[in-house]
């Protein structure tokens, strides 16, 4: 899809791609693997709705979302979000919006297996996308310039 969009013409001036991988920890607990589930009709409907919201807020030309399901181990790629636009601001902002919606509203269910334990649990909340306040300050500063 990237090659097709890149070769389509001169209106595609920016591509923003986010790739998310599984970490080996969550909230200070070592995780050995994870199982991701979804209900296809519900998930696909919510993904379509999320893309429509992004299209209403930013001038974007195309999107691609790939999200894995099933067994996943640390360092495996889980998700990819790509956004094509005429300008980088729209591409960056729309890809961030789509990724945050994926984490907060699109129905994917995660069951984590804790390392060195037989404990498994369903994840009830996702991280907010920032590791520390410093990251937020950096993004706030860069957006104002």
Sequence-separated (6 or more) residues with CB below 8 Å from residue 118: none
Domains of the chain: 2-144 (3.90.1170.40)
What band does 23 get if pLDDT is binned at 50, 70 and 90? Answer: confident
Q: What is the pLDDT of residues 101-128, one digit of tens each?
A: 998 889 998 888 887 777 776 777 666 6
User: Which stretch of DSSP H or E encloses residue 137?
Assistant: helix 133-144
The average confidence (pLDDT) of the chain is 83
- CA distances 26 to 35, 71, 103, Å, are 14, 16, 14
Evaluate if residue 132 carries a pLDDT over 60: no
CA dihedral 69, 71, 73, 78 (to 10 degrees): 0
Report which DSSP code applies to 73: -
Q: What predicted TM-score, i.e. pTM, was given to this entire model?
A: 0.79
């Amino acid at each position: 899809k990237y090659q097709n969009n890149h070769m389509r013409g001169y209106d595609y001036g920016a591509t923003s791609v986010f790739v998310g991988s599984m970490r080996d920890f969550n909230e200070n607990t070592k995780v050995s693997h994870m199982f991701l589930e979804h209900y296809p009709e519900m998930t696909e409907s919510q993904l379509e709705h999320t893309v429509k919201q992004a299209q209403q807020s930013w001038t974007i030309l195309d999107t691609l979302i790939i999200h894995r399901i099933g067994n996943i181990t640390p360092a495996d790629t889980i998700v990819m979000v790509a956004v094509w636009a005429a300008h980088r601001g729209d591409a960056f902002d729309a890809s961030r919006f789509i990724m945050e919606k994926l984490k907060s509203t699109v129905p994917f269910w995660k069951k984590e297996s804790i390392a060195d334990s037989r404990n498994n649990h369903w994840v009830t909340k996702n991280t907010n996308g920032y590791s520390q306040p410093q990251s937020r300050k950096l993004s706030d500063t860069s957006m104002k310039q």
